[in-house]
Structure 1
């Protein structure tokens, strides 16, 4: 136990990092992150396996700068970051988060202000950065905001927005999310490697009927939408920018 406590003490200012891209060599990750974080101070990167990287920072200030600034990308792929804890496992994404730019297409004009955009985006993740350029654009195709999302949770297709006298469903689109499963809608794998699909295959081998998805009735945030276009409201490439 003394050794465990000593090892944990050495990792007080350590971060665990995962790049959500396929077959990215460690030397590329090391080079890209060192270039982006060069102004923060001294840190050391160590490969842990299963595409995980340990970032040992010289002090807490450097760790906080890396953790709370961003968003960070390696070759266009999202970088998930979390503080190291004794509960960390390379087999789980629990606790891992990343800053992701989202778009709110066709946002009603009466919601087009900083406060309402942030409140709507907070239903997806914690608002972090607001694209100031969008207020100056000569068009209102979409609002754009950066939010921190938990990478072990399902990405919402959209959110319900309810005011004093109106209620509408706001779609959400995600930028630079390369590894997104359109079966379970989680970041980190594609449909061919989806654990939900594999579970369905196991059930099918027992002789039970295949699961049926009714494209005419979809549930979103405990609300039922009928007679919808599955391409507009179902999981698919249209969620990505």
Structure 2
């Protein structure tokens, strides 16, 4: 991690997220500076090649990861957007029932934390979302995310399964196939045999850092 001198937004200094939209409903993902204590062994410090290094125990990491539940990463492609402008736009787009919290990072990435799982799931499963006629990428937060990367590594994409045998067009079967390919968030099954035939469209999150899957075997058939 490089340390560089720059003026930080207030939201990135203390508390992290700035709350917005509606009444604040504290839920299981609500975090705070005093929610946990640092015990002996939780903080390890050393010097590596003359550079100070600090690391935290798995116990602390798990606490911090839990506080990031119901958090998504957003980035507006092809356009720089300020905090206030994005804040107003996503409230208008998503219309969350409960309050959300927003934190700006670097490279145009923002973290959005939801208090209601319904709001969280709806934002992930619907879309595509556009702001100023530009695509607003929305991806799940994971512990591997780094705002240092210039472009998102995970994108939402629709894939089509068009050669399934007729008896396989069942909700549970389609869900199993989609979850096997990637993390699935939504699907649609076309069942009209007389006009367009049968096919299934799945909305899945694709990791662009991994080889893309172009086909899959289902019960021995491609």
TM-score by length of 2: 0.51
CA distance in 2 between counterparts of 1:45 and 1:38 reads 14
Structure 1 pair 107–77 and aligned structure 2 pair: CA distance change class (3 A): farther
User: What is the number of residues matched between the two proteins?
Assistant: 155
1:37 paired residue among 84, 94, 100: 94
Asked if residue 68 in structure 1 is aligned to residue 111 in structure 2, the reply is no
Whether the 8 Å contact between 2:139 and 2:156 is mirrored in structure 1 is no
1:82 paired residue among 117, 127, 140: 140
CA distance in 2 between counterparts of 1:68 and 1:152 reads 24
1:9 paired residue among 32, 57, 71: 32
More helix by share: 1
Provide the alpha-carbon RMSD of the alignment.
3.9
Long gaps (5+) in structure 2: 1-12, 17-30, 34-63
Residues 112-191 of structure 1 mapped to structure 2, 5 A cutoff: 112-131=169-188, 134-136=190-192, 138-140=195-197, 142-150=199-207, 152-161=209-218, 163=219, 167-169=220-222
CA distance in 2 between counterparts of 1:33 and 1:156 reads 32
Q: Deviations over 1:187-217 (max 9, x none)?
A: xxxxxxxxxxxxxxxxxxxxxxxxxxxxxxx
CA distance in 1 between counterparts of 2:208 and 2:216 reads 18
TM-score by length of 1: 0.48
Structure 1 pair 128–16 and aligned structure 2 pair: CA distance change class (3 A): closer
Whether the 8 Å contact between 2:103 and 2:112 is mirrored in structure 1 is yes
